[in-house]
Amino acid sequence: MQEQNINLGKHLIHPVFPLIAEAAKEMGNKAYVVGGYVRDLLLGKSSKDIDVVVQGPGIELALRVAEKIGMDTKVRVFKNFGTAMLRFNDWEVEFVGARKESYRRDSRKPIVENGTLEDDQKRRDFTINAMSISLNEPDYGLLIDPFNGLADLESQIIRTPLEPNITYSDDPLRMMRAIRFSTQLNFTIEEKSLEAITKNAERIKIVSIERVTEELNKIIMTARPSIGFKLLYKTGLLQFIFPEMAALQGAEYKEGKGHKDNFYHTLIVLDNISKNTDDLWLRWAAILHDIAKPATKKWVDGTGWTFHGHEFLGAKMVPKIFRRLKLPMGDQMKYVKKLVALHLRPIVLSQDIVTDSAVRRLLFEAGNDVDDLMCLCEADMSSKIAEKIQRYRKNFEIVREKLVEIEKKDRLRNWQPPISGEIIMETFNLHPCREVGVIKTAIREAILDGKIKNDFDDAYAFMLGEGEKLGFQAAEKKH
């Protein structure tokens, strides 16, 4: 083991640490803080998750520590994994017995045996996560760093404790974790490690999609997610886990005309929006806003490359992608689908004369998500011509002002027309039929076009006129 002679005891200020030390001593075992808590402590970052390895039964140590804490502290026991977890002052403390692992080629589930601290550190994914701190006499607080993790922290390098091909082949999820840590910490993945990820990329297929998506979401939630996506593409992982996004890469030229590389454009949009929101699903909308461009790409003589209808096809692709990645299929999916379908609308408005009618329709269709849609569209504005961008942004401000003005006047967010289908049927003595929908649509369009006010009286009078056009006689003069 590497002798660091660095003592971090004075930094172990949470009251749980001396209790763990006391309980382990009573059991005749040795306990250590390991992994992410140690890494974050050395990086000067706060963490409320503590992982403790004990050379002995981890569950028993957790139960004894809970007794010492008192206050009816509950311990959650996971017998299948040999782990236990308790909460103390909003901190989560997880206990596990030291172990060593071996893997079969066709599975990432290891064969686990009892082991030493050294065995446990060897099975860790990266050197920066393989450091531990002793909670034992006489070396309480001593940093134990067998793989020079501290040096890698200082050099900002992601490196595996063992030969990287073994580390990644044994547990392919570690490839995603390497890229996630690189993106979160802005560290460089060591060259041999990067080569090993590329070599083993296909093995990501043996990992459950839920675990892969969990890591993908963590990459998306970083300050600059483009770092992670570029690494996912470079190593070939993206092609296996998210082929639709990988398909965005590349630009085709014909007769001297080319289109932008939609993969790198998407990453610019994603980074742009990440400066303004921590909403995971708004970031997903940025990722998927142009997802259908490869499928809609077409060369038109005299015009060049077109992607007509990519917003509508993209919206149709959203549920399929969410289902495959095991993302939520409820409100979050519907929200992303809506933003993908509408993402061109504000941009078109910003490039042309902003009419009240167009703004009303935008408010009606976007509802309470209109502000998020505007945020997405501002992130999507890209051009190499500065004057063009400046003009778009100026017009975009006009769109924003119009949205506020018209919403205040017409109240169209999450709006329902003042005349329902029931009122139409009652007025003209009709049963449910196609004509009821025709009248209802005509009322809605008249309000959105500004032909009539958004109130009951105007809408009722308009309804009577539309009914007469269809040959219907009103059964009563007023509802």
Render pLDDT for 170-198 as a digit per residue (tens, 0 to 9).
899 999 999 999 999 999 999 999 999 99
Q: Is residue 113 predicted with pLDDT exceeding 70?
A: no
Stronger pLDDT, 131 or 475, i.e. the higher one: 131
Any domain includes 280:
no
Looking at 241, 260, 293, the residue that finishes a domain is 241
Any domain includes 479:
no
Q: Is residue 454 predicted with pLDDT exceeding 90?
A: no
Q: How do residues 15-29 score in pLDDT, each as one tens digit?
A: 999 999 999 999 999
Nearest residue to 271 via CA among 242, 228, 312: 228
Residue 95: both structure tokens together:
């206990």
Are 89 and 149 contained in the same domain? yes
Stretch 461-468: mean pLDDT, rounded? 93
Helix (H, G, I), strand (E, B) or coil at 301: coil
Stronger pLDDT, 371 or 222, i.e. the higher one: 222
Any domain includes 274:
no
Are 133 and 191 contained in the same domain? no
Least confident of 143-147, 254-258, 270-274, 315-319: 254-258
Is residue 460 within 8 Å of residue 419, measured between CB atoms? yes
- CA separation for the pair 296, 340 (Å, rounded): 15
Are 232 and 130 contained in the same domain? no
Is residue 36 within 8 Å of residue 184, measured between CB atoms? no
pLDDT at 242 (0 to 100)? 98
- Confidence band of 351 (pLDDT split at 50, 70, 90): low
- Confidence band of 463 (pLDDT split at 50, 70, 90): very high
Q: How do residues 196-235 score in pLDDT, each as one tens digit?
A: 999 999 999 999 999 999 999 999 999 999 999 999 999 9
Are 88 and 193 contained in the same domain? no
Q: Is residue 401 predicted with pLDDT exceeding 70?
A: yes
Any domain includes 369:
no
Q: Is residue 112 predicted with pLDDT exceeding 60?
A: no
The fraction of the chain above a pLDDT of 70, given in percent, is 91
Q: How do residues 40-83 score in pLDDT, each as one tens digit?
A: 999 999 889 999 999 988 999 999 999 999 988 899 999 878 89
Q: Is residue 255 predicted with pLDDT exceeding 80?
A: no
Q: Is residue 114 predicted with pLDDT exceeding 80?
A: no
pLDDT at 406 (0 to 100)? 73
pLDDT at 207 (0 to 100)? 94
Q: How do residues 273-313 score in pLDDT, each as one tens digit?
A: 999 999 999 999 999 999 999 999 999 888 888 899 999 99
Looking at 120, 155, 190, the residue that finishes a domain is 155
CATH number for the domain spanning 113: value is: 3.30.460.10
pLDDT at 385 (0 to 100)? 63
Are 120 and 51 contained in the same domain? yes
Are 75 and 127 contained in the same domain? yes
Stretch 378-405: mean pLDDT, rounded? 76
Any domain includes 304:
no
Q: Is residue 378 predicted with pLDDT exceeding 50?
A: yes
- CA separation for the pair 168, 387 (Å, rounded): 49
- CA separation for the pair 424, 419 (Å, rounded): 7
Indicate the number of domains in the chain: 3
Are 149 and 163 contained in the same domain? no
Are 186 and 65 contained in the same domain? no
For helices 209-220 and 173-185, give the axis angle rounded to 10 degrees. 10
Residues 6+ apart with CB under 8 A from 168: 160, 174, 175, 178, 193, 196, 197, 200, 203
Least confident of 352-366, 400-414, 425-439: 400-414
Any domain includes 219:
yes
330 HSE (CA, 13 A, CB side): 1
Are 22 and 106 contained in the same domain? yes
Are 63 and 118 contained in the same domain? yes
Residue 401, phi-psi category: left (phi > 0), alpha (psi -120 to 50), beta (remainder): alpha
The fraction of the chain above a pLDDT of 90, given in percent, is 66
**What value does the mean pLDDT of the chain take?**
89
- Confidence band of 479 (pLDDT split at 50, 70, 90): very low
Stretch 396-407: mean pLDDT, rounded? 78
Any domain includes 350:
no
* End-to-end CA gap in the chain: 86
CB neighbour class for 205 (10 Å; exposed up to 12, middle 13-18, buried from 19): exposed
User: Which structural domain range is residue 57 located in?
Assistant: 3-155
Are 18 and 146 contained in the same domain? yes
Are 144 and 202 contained in the same domain? no
Stretch 128-134: mean pLDDT, rounded? 96
Any domain includes 76:
yes
Looking at 241, 257, 281, the residue that finishes a domain is 241
Stretch 134-140: mean pLDDT, rounded? 94
